[in-house]
Each structure stands twice: as structure tokens, then as C-alpha cells.
Structure 1
């Protein structure tokens, strides 16, 4: 069963670049755990908004658990704590984009 997550990340003051650098490192491990990044976006972190938003997918719960327990990821806890003030993680389902309705037929 696939697991899809939306991850919202807030940087500590002045640490947006450190947050991005940390995420670059840990997201590189996803493939080894049957995971992949579907989308990664950066925001400005102003007015309570997150600094980074990620959509992540794992092929299974075992892949997610393996990623979370990966010693290479957990060994970076100090770097993570120095850069990231807050994380929110939500299970999500992807929805298909509904295209614009077809133009009305014209009669001539």
C-alpha cells in the first residue's frame, strides 16, 4: 500500500538555507527506501507560512519506516534541530487535475 505525505517545514530564524541543505541530504536517501519526492517547493516563511513544502511517496509502510530509521538520516539530528523549528506531516491522497471544460460547440 502506497503512502503519500505532505510535509511542511519551518526554518529557525535565518536558517532557511540550512533547512534546504539538510533536506537535500535526507531526501537523497528516499530511493533506497522505495520512496520518491513528488514535488518540492519553497515559500518565503513569512507570516507563519512554511519555508518548504514537500509531497513524498513511499511504495509501502516498510519503506517509510526504513527511511525514518535510516542511520544516515538519524545521525543528522543535530543539523536538523539547528535548522528546522517545526515540521508538520500529513497523509494525503493525490487527486487528478480536472482540465478546463471543453469549449461549447458553435453553430454556424
Structure 2
């Protein structure tokens, strides 16, 4: 069964670039777990309304792939980078609706 997720990320103050760098590294691991990034968007600077700094739509072919991604030791090795950059993460299971 396909797993589709919407991920909302908020950076600690002044760490937006570090959030982006961390996500670049972690998202590169998706393909090793039958996952793929469907979309990635960054909130425009100065929005200042509590919006997340980054929003992602991610898909995994199976629950096993998702669990493998979460348990990936390369991802775990980046935990300190994540903790330093990311203040909050909200994750929602979604169903991506085709456009058109």
C-alpha cells in the first residue's frame, strides 16, 4: 500500500539555511527506500505569520519502505543537525489528488 505524507517544517530562528541543508541530505535517501519527493516548497521570506518554512509531499511505495527510511542509520547520524535546525515538524498522511 502506497504511503503519502505532507511534511511541514519550521526552523529555529536564524537556521533556515541549516534546515534546507539537512533536508537536502535526508531527502536524498528516499530513493533507497522506494520513496520519492513529489513536491517541495519554501515559504517566502518575511511571511512572518507562523507558516512553516518548508512543506514537502513525499510518497513511499510501501509501509516497509517508509519504516526503512525512518530507521536508516544515515538519517540517524544526522540527528544533531536536525535538532539544531528544526524546531517543529508536523506530519500528515494524505492522499495526493491528481491535477486536471
Task: Say yes or no: TM over 0.5.
Answer: yes
Structure 1: 4+ residue segments shifted above 4 A: none
Residue of 43, 48, 51 corresponding to 1:49? 51
Find out whether 1:29 has 2:29 as its counterpart: yes
Q: Which residue of 2 aligns with 1:102?
A: none
For residue 55 of structure 2, give the secondary structure of its aligned residue in structure 1: strand
Flag structure 1 segments of 5+ consecutive residues without an equivalent: 99-108
Give the aligned partner of residue 61 of structure 1: 63
Mapped partners of 1:97, 1:78: distance in 2: 38
Alpha-carbon distance in structure 2 between the residues aligned to 1:48 and 1:14 = 14
| TM-score for both structures, normalised by structure 1 | 0.88
Q: Kindly state the Cα deviation for residue 97 of structure 1 after the two structures are TM-superposed.
A: 2.1
Which structure has more RCO (C-alpha within 8 Å, separation ≥ 6)? 2
Report how far residue 96 of structure 1 moved. 2.5
Count of residue pairs the alignment pairs up: 98
1:82 corresponds to: 84
Q: TM-score, normalised by structure 2?
A: 0.95
- RMSD of Structure 2 on Structure 1 (CA): 0.9
Q: Which has more radius of gyration?
A: 1
- In the TM superposition, what is the alpha-carbon distance from 1:95 to its structure 2 partner? 1.3
Give the Å deviation of 1:28. 0.2
